[in-house]
């Protein structure tokens, strides 16, 4: 991987995911000759820790990409729609964490453990999938290869960090307000999130599903390369700081027993099985926070159908669900000499 040293930029560097991207680049010793932190004018001049020093945040503008080979974007869909094409025209490859490009047929949507070969088709922009989709497909893919998945029913329990720094702060503030017998104030979410669950992530669509729920459906089919997989989702925001959890029901064409599933998943890249209910061993967000792996447990047969499994999947939404996956994409691009327009 060190054959080519790269000039790297992180767009949205002051946000929760942007900061995690910088931390991940450092921890994984990504081969960069230089790393630049880019953000809006409001954040310009801030300092972010990196490799024992500080990066001074630069204001993002149309000239930011002339001396970059690779840009990791995590600054929202509007910023990505405007600046990703500008970066590509400047000769910079973009890995984008927003939803702006995910369903564009010209843009690969990639989870390196699942569909790394799709990167060869990139035209300058690669999309990072939704956090809740990423952790699910790393578990579904090895099962699909053995038993061919027909249908998936997923309910998510998603941490507030998925909304960003303001949501983390809002939950902290609400907890303090409630312990001080004050009325909790909600601005980021439509209702209080402290000690509550909101079955509402992103906007509601005409079919009464949320945009987050439909992202999981469409992104899973695209990443898995199989539009015949039927999927339905309910996504819920819960009062957890870090780590998304998912209850996943899978129906396969070929029967896979729970014991077989444990063996398959124990060998799957990026997955760790934590599954011994008699010893109260199962994944929880407190296990996943700060970790790179996706954890799976509560693997059991769905006794209501012939070929069904129930799974409980947990991962750090800022790591594997965002920053780590983006950096892993970048690593594969380097490894396969695909850092080029």
- What pLDDT digit, counting tens, does each position of 215-240 carry? 999 999 999 999 999 999 999 999 99
Q: Half-sphere exposure of 340 toward its Cβ, with a 13 Å CA cutoff?
A: 6
Helix (H, G, I), strand (E, B) or coil at 266: helix
Q: Among residues 126, 95, 86, which one has the least CA distance to residue 109?
A: 126
Q: What is the DSSP letter of 68?
A: -
Per-residue pLDDT tens digits for 13-72: 999 999 999 999 999 999 999 999 999 999 999 999 999 999 999 999 999 999 999 999
In whole angstroms, give the CA distance from residue 106 to residue 118. Answer: 11
In whole angstroms, give the CA distance from residue 285 to residue 295. Answer: 9
In whole angstroms, give the CA distance from residue 277 to residue 280. Answer: 5
For the chain, state the CA radius of gyration.
20
What pLDDT sits at residue 340?
Answer: 79
Q: Which portions of the chain are predicted below pLDDT 50? A: 1-3
Residue for token digits 């909600």?
A: 186
Q: Specify whether the CB–CB gap between 242 and 135 falls below 8 A.
A: no
Give the tokens for residue 30: 């990504």
Give the tokens for residue 39: 């953000």
What pLDDT sits at residue 5?
Answer: 75
Maximum alpha-carbon separation in the chain: 60
Q: Specify whether the CB–CB gap between 36 and 9 falls below 8 A.
A: yes
Partners of 300 in the beta sheet? 310
Q: Specify whether the CB–CB gap between 20 and 131 falls below 8 A.
A: no
Q: Which residues participate in catalysis according to the annotation?
A: 131, 244
Total-model pTM: 0.94
What pLDDT sits at residue 4?
Answer: 62
In whole angstroms, give the CA distance from residue 97 to residue 127. Answer: 6
What pLDDT sits at residue 1?
Answer: 40
Q: Among residues 5, 69, 4, 11, which one has the least CA distance to residue 323?
A: 11
What pLDDT sits at residue 25?
Answer: 97
Q: Specify whether the CB–CB gap between 118 and 110 falls below 8 A.
A: yes
Task: Give φ, ψ of 308 to 5 degrees.
Answer: -135, 145
In whole angstroms, give the CA distance from residue 82 to residue 98. Answer: 12
- Cα dihedral 2→91→47→163 (10° resolution): -100
Element (DSSP H or E) covering residue 265: helix 258-266
CB-CB neighbours of 323 under 10 Å: 28
In whole angstroms, give the CA distance from residue 10 to residue 70. Answer: 9
What pLDDT sits at residue 169?
Answer: 97
DSSP string, 198-232: BS--S-B-TTS-BHHHHHHHHHHHHHHT-TT-EEE
In whole angstroms, give the CA distance from residue 259 to residue 196. Answer: 36
């Amino acid at each position: 991987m060190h054959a080519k040293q790269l000039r790297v930029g992180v767009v949205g560097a002051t946000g929760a995911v942007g900061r995690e991207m910088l931390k991940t680049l450092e921890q994984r010793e990504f081969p960069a000759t230089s790393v630049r932190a880019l953000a809006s004018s409001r954040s310009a001049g801030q300092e972010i820790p990196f490799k024992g020093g500080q990066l001074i945040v630069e204001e993002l503008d149309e000239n930011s990409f002339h001396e970059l080979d690779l840009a990791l974007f995590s600054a929202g869909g509007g910023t990505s729609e405007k600046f990703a094409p500008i970066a590509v025209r400047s000769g910079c490859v973009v890995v984008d964490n927003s939803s702006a490009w995910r369903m564009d047929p010209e843009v690969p949507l990639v989870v390196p453990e699942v569909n790394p070969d799709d990167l060869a088709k990139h035209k300058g922009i690669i999309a990072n999938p939704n956090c809740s989709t990423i952790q699910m497909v790393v578990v579904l893919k090895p099962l699909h290869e053995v038993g061919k998945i027909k249908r998936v029913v997923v309910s998510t329990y998603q941490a507030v960090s998925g909304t960003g720094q303001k949501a983390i702060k809002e939950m902290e503030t609400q907890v303090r307000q409630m312990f001080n017998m004050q009325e909790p104030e909600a601005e980021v979410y439509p209702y209080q999130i402290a000690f509550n669950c909101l079955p509402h992530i992103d906007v509601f669509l005409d079919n009464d599903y949320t945009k987050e729920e439909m992202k999981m459906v469409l992104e899973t089919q695209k990443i898995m390369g199989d539009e015949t997989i039927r999927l339905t989702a309910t996504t819920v925001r819960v009062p957890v700081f870090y780590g998304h959890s998912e209850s996943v029901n899978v129906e396969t064409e070929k029967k896979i027993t729970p014991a077989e599933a444990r063996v398959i998943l124990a060998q799957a890249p990026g997955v760790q099985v934590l599954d011994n209910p008699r010893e109260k061993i199962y994944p929880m967000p407190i296990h996943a926070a700060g970790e790179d792996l996706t954890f799976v447990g509560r693997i059991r047969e769905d006794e209501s159908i012939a070929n069904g499994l129930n799974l409980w999947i947990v991962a750090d939404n800022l790591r594997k669900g965002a920053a780590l996956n983006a950096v892993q994409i970048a690593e594969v691009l380097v490894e396969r000499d695909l850092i080029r327009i």
